[in-house]
Structure 1
Amino acid sequence: MLSERSEERKGDQCERSICVNNPHLKSMKQDILYHLNLDTATHDLQKQFGDVKFVCVGGSQLRMKFFIEYIAKELGLEDPNGEYPNLCEGTDRYAMYKVGPVLSVSHGIGVPSTAILLHELIKLLYHAHCTDVTMVRIGTSGGIGLQPGTVVVTKEAVDATFLPRFEQVVLGKTVAYAAGVRNIEMESTVFAAMCKLSNIRAAVVCVTLLDRQKGDQLTSSHDVMVNYQQRPQILVGHYIKKKLNAFKST
């Protein structure tokens, strides 16, 4: 499981380190990240992922591939003759793509699939000695009183009882974890809780596909839906560019 926030000071700059509350990790000869098809014995995770500063996750494998292609172009890292290989190619559970300091990963649908991905992804960042990581969920959602295509940046994630928490049942006992300031959509509670407990700066940015107060049927055309799904990607892309430019100027 994951621990509370900790900070490590390096010089005058306070860097955010990835936290895991598992005393056995350091003594393990091999940690197999099964659903990512990665492990600490056969992969140099620090060399491969140590420069990661931004982790963007979303439900669809195809959407996250589109995002890595988009962000590569935005950051000037696009290779016209290159492909972006799926780093989880040996498994059919998730897809992972990387360009520069940006990691783009699919998490599937719902809390269970997202929790499994985050559990292994956070350990991956830990083993890679990543610091000052920002994680953003880019997704779709149903709006409440909003026009389709509206991009929502989450303020608070709430559960089915409208409380800002994420609950798990462990050995027959209910354990509640405060989720922090996030918004309401399907995966946000587990995403917010696990990122907060792992000391990872996080946000949820979703586009609304419809106003659920007016129905539950998607009536927009395919092209319009594709346009909607690009909107949070563009917003997150601008944020990443701004942060990277700030890093370069310091």
Structure 2
Amino acid sequence: MPFGFGDQRNAEQCKRSICVNNPYLDSMKEDILYHLNLDTSSHDLPKEFGDVKFVCVGGSPWRMKAFTEYIAKELGMADPNGEYPNICEGTDRYAMYKVGPVLSVSHGMGIPSISIMLHELIKLLHHARCTDVTIMRIGTSGGIGLQPGTVVVTRQSVDSLFLPRFEQLVLGKTVVRNTELDVELAEELLQCGKELAEFQTVSGNTMCTLDFYEGQARLDGAFCSYTEEEKQNYLSEAYAAGVRNIEMESSVFAAMCKLSNIRAAVVCVTLLDRQKGDQLTSSHDILHSYQQRPQTLVGYYIKKKLDALKRN
């Protein structure tokens, strides 16, 4: 690796803090987090964000605002006027909300969108001198062999060949990065699911794809070059490899959090069983209730952790 910035060396240097793995940041007079509408010159990032311990990220701005309102009530920090300002106001790329030590950020859809957000979020946490941060992605997914509404806590993010890796092109060369997630955190979330007992929570591998249609073996896209039998065979192979759901962000999320020495988890609800169909036919109300389940689980986990810290 260039500059001698090996992963192991950096991990030793910052066991509790955020690793940015970029020697050029220290020489910059100002760092502009363009897509978050933040910067290091006009914002006191340590003052504004230094107390952050939990970051929850998800696809849509609406969903992350809903999570903010939910966690604020759970933590007894609800605004009496119901006002939760968007910290990223002024940009239409992402939305960010903060309630006490909890940061809520939208990331859009797909690997490129979440990758951009994570680069700037990780730098934000680094500039704010945050320590002991846990990041959790909440979202929706297509299940494999699971009842709709099942919440999957990801054990490993795998690619379309069912391998735990993320391939990043850097200077025209392929760099393969590890997609392991924090095992202890996953187990804690599964335990929280048992304690809640409001819906089924399972662990499994999550397949991360580059698109929503052909990459996920759907039959309902504009193009389809395979048969239904081939689709079913592929999904059966995925299930045999431990895959229980499919989405489009977990691989780069896991890889970047691991490089940054951040505890991370992926918690997604399944909206349908892909072995039984490709299109969503459930009512809006049912889908909305499913989408609330990851935030319920993660919110319970955060409250449990913060309550434990208060007792200690």
Coarse TM-score class (shorter-chain normalised): over 0.9
The DSSP-based 3-state class of the residue aligned with 2:206 is coil
Contact 1:7 1:17 in 2 (8 A): no
Contact 1:7 1:16 in 2 (8 A): no
Q: Distance in 2 between matches of 1:19 and 1:157?
A: 21
Q: Distance in 2 between matches of 1:87 and 1:70?
A: 18
Aligned to 2:196: none
User: Within the alignment, does 1:115 sit opposite 2:115 as a pair?
Assistant: yes
User: Within the alignment, does 1:92 sit opposite 2:92 as a pair?
Assistant: yes
Aligned to 2:206: 183
User: Within the alignment, does 1:242 sit opposite 2:304 as a pair?
Assistant: yes
Q: Distance in 1 between matches of 2:278 and 2:25?
A: 45
Q: Structure 2: which amino acid aligns with 1:16?
A: R
* Correspondence for 2:264 among 202, 206, 224: 202
Provide Cα deviations, 1:189-247, integer angstroms capped at 9, x if missing partner. Answer: 00000000000000000000000000111011111111000001000001001111121
Q: Distance in 2 between matches of 1:175 and 1:142?
A: 28
Q: Distance in 2 between matches of 1:3 and 1:40?
A: 26
Aligned to 2:279: 217
The DSSP-based 3-state class of the residue aligned with 1:210 is strand
* Correspondence for 1:231 among 290, 293, 297: 293
Provide Cα deviations, 1:155-198, integer angstroms capped at 9, x if missing partner. Answer: 11001111101101112211100111463331000000000000
The DSSP-based 3-state class of the residue aligned with 2:126 is helix
CA gap of 1:3–1:228, structure 2 versus 1, over 3 A, is: farther
Q: Distance in 1 between matches of 2:111 and 2:6?
A: 19
Deviation at 1:8, TM superposition (A): 6.2
Moved more, 173-182 or 146-155: 173-182
Q: Could you tell me the percent identity over the aligned residues?
A: 76
Aligned to 2:81: 81
Q: Distance in 1 between matches of 2:12 and 2:101?
A: 21
Aligned to 1:12: none
Q: Distance in 2 between matches of 1:27 and 1:183?
A: 38
Provide Cα deviations, 1:92-114, integer angstroms capped at 9, x if missing partner. Answer: 00000000000000000000000
Moved more, 172-181 or 131-140: 172-181
Q: Which structure: greater helix fraction?
A: 2
Contact 1:86 1:95 in 2 (8 A): yes
The DSSP-based 3-state class of the residue aligned with 1:183 is strand
User: Within the alignment, does 1:36 sit opposite 2:36 as a pair?
Assistant: yes
Deviation at 1:82, TM superposition (A): 4.2
Q: Distance in 1 between matches of 2:38 and 2:114?
A: 18
Contact 1:135 1:200 in 2 (8 A): yes
**TM-score w.r.t. structure 1 length?**
0.94
Q: Which has the larger radius of gyration?
A: 2
Following superposition of structure 1 onto structure 2, how do residues 46-57 of structure 1 map, counting pairs within 5 Å? 46-57=46-57
The DSSP-based 3-state class of the residue aligned with 1:149 is coil
Q: Distance in 1 between matches of 2:163 and 2:155?
A: 13
Aligned to 2:154: 154
Q: Distance in 2 between matches of 1:71 and 1:183?
A: 26
The DSSP-based 3-state class of the residue aligned with 1:234 is helix
State the 4+ residue runs in structure 1 displaced beyond 4 angstroms: none
Q: Distance in 2 between matches of 1:80 and 1:219?
A: 38
Q: Distance in 1 between matches of 2:206 and 2:80?
A: 37
Provide Cα deviations, 1:59-110, integer angstroms capped at 9, x if missing partner. Answer: 0110000000000000000012141000000100000000000000000000
The DSSP-based 3-state class of the residue aligned with 1:203 is strand
Contact 1:3 1:197 in 2 (8 A): no
Q: Structure 1: which amino acid aligns with 2:148?
A: P
The DSSP-based 3-state class of the residue aligned with 2:156 is coil
Q: Distance in 2 between matches of 1:7 and 1:232?
A: 33
Deviation at 1:29, TM superposition (A): 1.0
CA gap of 1:66–1:249, structure 2 versus 1, over 3 A, is: same
